[in-house]
């Protein structure tokens, strides 16, 4: 069999980039899906993979991503739904358009992509789907109504797809990190400092790491290692699970 194929959304930076690099190192042919053409094309070239510019809020582009991946490689073995973004604001000030955009990108797009890859994985008799959730798939924090709602919904989607996928060889799991050292988190630090009227240092120590037993940010490659495990033969009976990499956050 030729080398397996993986689609990674939000693949151009942060956690997505680390996942793309880790999969490529294991001989996967990687499709880097992102809205950032410059970074996405550069990474795809570096990994000898494929870049597909994808706006996850556009359902047609989600479908096109899968179609272009099949056209390029003829199969899809792994789908990592990692794309997302943050908007931090109190509910009373939360813009409806931001709510709609975040639900679209982080919940509707994973559903559409799962639906699109499903027939190919089913025909192969195998497939791995990994949804990047968050510690906020289980707990809540201030000012993140849309993000937390989307991540809670993503766990429901994960479990339902796992039940339907088991009989046809498709496993579906989620990974729920706490704060990871990424450009997205760097932006959150600034936004939280403004909303809470505290320093950025205090945001890290008093907000992001407040509930952590391990007092540090998680590195992106630590998340990528979990993805590799869930893609491996050793995880063949692992499905419908939500894997915490949360520095002990949810132990309280």
Percent of the chain with pLDDT over 90: 85
- CB-CB contact of 33 with 54 (8 Å): yes
Per the structure, the complete domain to which residue 34 belongs is given by: 5-180+219-251
Give the confidence band of 248 by pLDDT, cuts at 50, 70, 90.
very high
User: How much is the pLDDT for 75?
Assistant: 97
User: How much is the pLDDT for 134?
Assistant: 96
Question: What whole-number distance in Å separates Cα of residue 129 and Cα of residue 90?
Answer: 33
Classify residue 227: in a domain, yes or no.
yes
Q: Tens digits of per-residue pLDDT, 134-176? A: 999 999 988 899 999 999 999 999 999 999 999 999 999 999 9
Classify residue 191: in a domain, yes or no.
no
| Residue 129 DSSP SS3 | strand
User: How much is the pLDDT for 225?
Assistant: 98
Which of 28, 73, 143, 147 is flagged as catalytic? 147
- CB-CB contact of 242 with 205 (8 Å): no
Classify residue 214: in a domain, yes or no.
no
Domain count, the chain: 1
- CB-CB contact of 153 with 111 (8 Å): no
| Choice between 125 and 196, residue whose per-residue pLDDT is larger | 125
Question: What whole-number distance in Å separates Cα of residue 53 and Cα of residue 37?
Answer: 6
CATH number at residue 152: 3.40.50.720
- Count of Cβ atoms closer than 10 Å to residue 145 Cβ: 18
Classify residue 195: in a domain, yes or no.
no
- In angstroms, the Cα distances linking 228 to 80, 115, 202, 231 are 11, 22, 34, 5
User: How much is the pLDDT for 194?
Assistant: 85
Percent of the chain with pLDDT over 70: 100
Q: Tens digits of per-residue pLDDT, 27-48? A: 999 999 999 999 999 999 999 9
Angle (CA) 159-163-168 rounded to 5° is: 135
| Choice between 210 and 115, residue whose per-residue pLDDT is larger | 115
Classify residue 204: in a domain, yes or no.
no
**Average pLDDT for residues 182-200, to the nearest whole number?**
84
Q: Residue 246: is its pLDDT beyond 60?
A: yes
Classify residue 237: in a domain, yes or no.
yes
Classify residue 161: in a domain, yes or no.
yes
Q: Tens digits of per-residue pLDDT, 60-118? A: 999 999 999 999 999 999 999 999 998 889 999 999 999 999 999 999 999 999 999 99
143 belongs to the catalytic site: no
User: How much is the pLDDT for 1?
Assistant: 53
- CB-CB contact of 30 with 49 (8 Å): yes
User: How much is the pLDDT for 183?
Assistant: 84
């Amino acid at each position: 069999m030729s080398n397996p194929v993986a689609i990674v959304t939000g693949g151009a930076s942060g956690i997505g980039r680390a996942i793309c690099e880790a999969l490529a190192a294991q001989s996967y042919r990687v499709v880097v899906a992102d809205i950032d053409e410059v970074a996405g094309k550069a990474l795809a070239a570096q990994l000898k993979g494929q870049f597909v510019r994808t706006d996850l809020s556009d359902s047609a582009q989600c479908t096109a991503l899968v179609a272009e991946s099949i056209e390029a490689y003829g199969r899809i073995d792994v789908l990592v739904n990692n794309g997302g973004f943050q908007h931090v604001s109190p509910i009373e000030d939360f813009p409806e358009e931001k709510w709609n955009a975040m639900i679209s990108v982080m919940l509707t797009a994973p559903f559409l992509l799962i639906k699109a890859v499903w027939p190919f994985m089913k025909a192969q008799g195998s497939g791995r789907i990994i949804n990047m959730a968050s510690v906020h798939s289980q707990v809540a924090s201030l000012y993140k109504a849309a993000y937390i709602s989307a991540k809670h919904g993503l766990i429901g989607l994960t479990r339902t797809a796992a039940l339907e996928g088991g009989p046809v060889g498709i496993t579906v799991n989620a990974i729920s990190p706490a704060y990871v050292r990424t450009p997205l988190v760097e932006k959150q630090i600034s936004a939280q400092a403004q909303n809470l009227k505290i320093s950025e240092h205090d945001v890290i120590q008093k907000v992001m790491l407040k509930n952590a037993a391990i007092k540090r940010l998680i590195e992106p490659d630590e998340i990528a290692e979990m993805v590799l495990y869930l893609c491996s033969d050793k995880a063949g009976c692992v499905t419908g699970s939500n894997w915490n990499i949360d520095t002990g956050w949810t132990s309280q």
